[in-house]
């Protein structure tokens, strides 16, 4: 299910705390789409995000794979 691009949803984003996150990246990948940077998968914390349960997400690594559909 798509994650609406809203301030409320963005405020729940945990991308900045993820081991795969690259400093200076946009974050909020489940809504905005994958990173434009070349990143290495070092672990995924998508399932700890408030949007995970609220929106009903079931995947991870949105930073590498693209936004939730």
The answer to whether the predicted template modeling score (pTM) of the entire model surpasses 0.85 is yes
Domain boundaries, the chain: 7-65
Task: Give the pLDDT confidence of 4-60 residue by residue, as tens digits.
Answer: 999 999 999 999 999 999 999 999 999 999 999 999 999 999 999 999 999 999 999
- For 61, half-sphere exposure in the C-beta direction (CA atoms, 13 angstrom radius) is 7
Q: Determine the pLDDT at residue 1.
A: 81
């Amino acid at each position: 299910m798509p994650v609406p691009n809203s301030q409320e949803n963005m405020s729940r984003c945990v991308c900045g705390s993820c081991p795969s996150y690259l400093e200076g990246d946009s974050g909020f990948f489940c809504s905005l789409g994958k990173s434009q940077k070349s990143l290495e998968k070092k672990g995924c914390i998508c399932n700890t995000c408030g949007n995970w349960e609220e929106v009903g997400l079931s995947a991870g690594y949105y930073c590498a794979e693209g936004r939730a559909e």
